[in-house]
Amino acid sequence: MFINCKGQLIDLTKPCVMGIINTTPDSFYTLSRTQLVDDALKLAEQMLNEGATFIDVGGQSTRPGAEAINEEEELQRVIPIIEAIAGAFPKSFISIDTYYAKVAHEAVNAGACMVNDISAGDDDVQMLDTVSKLKVPYISMHKKGKPQTMKDEANYTDVALEVFDYLATKLVQLRAQGVCDIIIDPGFGFGKTIEHNFELIHKLKVFKQLEVPLLIGISRKSMIWKTLDSTPENALHGTTTLNTLALLQGANILRVHDVKPAMDCIKMMGKYGVSV
């Protein structure tokens, strides 16, 4: 199972890690907020040294209830940091976390080589055409509603089946649009209750039927810290537990705030004999 980034084939049959860099003042995990270029470079260097394959740069908080910002403000936040990381670490693989087509386009021009879209093209009608023309890998995520409303839209008859059907339909649409390297993300926390999230974890293996790489983004989310009656800052052990369960069911990419614990998890699972 390979994806093409910057002309290089990345083998995802061995799970890998995507480190999160948020250029925001309001992301749910305070220690992930990095608005200064020098701080972002230090964090990127640390993540790469710890074994991250991808660095995911985002300029907008999409936690439940977060206020949306426009594409120009998002560009001001992410482009200087992407340019700096790409310049300092030219062999790195940078992902842009955005649902704006213009931001995706400018970010790839600045040095990103992957687009991570929480809306799977639903929030900007130009996105899929833009990604097709950019010829970069695309992460297609499921969400229900928008960050401002998704708490009220977490209604499903069968959450795993509905998310599966949505992503399967998106795969057909993306391939028809000419997007070749597609990664799917069930979208933990995006218009889903804690119970929905755990049901998705329980049934993750079903998504392997789609025969594309599977990304899991559960790092320090409320499904963990609320279950533990804790805080995002104290949710690392819970994150590692769920990442382990995800790997057991075929996760290819772990999107995390803490790279080394995720890499340790992958190494231990490899020793145990887990492969995807």
In this predicted model, what pLDDT tens digit does every residue of 134-181 receive, in sequence order?
999 999 999 998 877 777 788 999 999 999 999 999 999 999 999 999
Report CA 222 to chain centroid distance, whole Å.
16
Q: Which of 105, 127, 135, 117 is nearest to 6 (CA)?
A: 135
Higher pLDDT, 36 or 20: 20
Task: Give the whole-number percent of the chain exceeding pLDDT 90.
Answer: 84
Which residues pair with residue 94 across a beta bridge? 55
Residue 61 clears pLDDT 80, i.e. is over it: yes
What is the distance between the alpha carbons of residues 46 and 85, in angstroms, rounded to a whole number? 12
What is the distance between the alpha carbons of residues 147 and 185, in angstroms, rounded to a whole number? 16
What is the distance between the alpha carbons of residues 76 and 81, in angstroms, rounded to a whole number? 9
Number of domains within the chain: 1
* pLDDT of res. 27: 62
Average pLDDT, the chain: 93
Note the pLDDT tens digit of each residue in 199-244.
Answer: 999 999 999 999 999 999 999 999 999 999 999 999 999 999 999 9
User: Hunting for tokens 């959450």 — which residue is that?
Assistant: 159
Give me the helix-helix angle, 101-110 and 127-134, nearest 10°.
20
What would the two tokens of residue 22 be?
């948020």
* pLDDT of res. 63: 76
Higher pLDDT, 148 or 185: 185
Catalytic residues: 221, 255
Note the pLDDT tens digit of each residue in 70-103.
Answer: 999 999 999 999 999 999 999 999 999 999 999 9
pTM for this predicted structure? 0.95
Q: Residue 181 is part of which domain span?
A: 2-272
One-letter amino acid at 238 equals G
What's the alpha-carbon Rg for the chain, to the nearest Å? 17
What is the distance between the alpha carbons of residues 161 and 232, in angstroms, rounded to a whole number? 29
Task: Give the whole-number percent of the chain exceeding pLDDT 70.
Answer: 96
Higher pLDDT, 271 or 94: 94
Which CATH number do you get for residue 35? 3.20.20.20
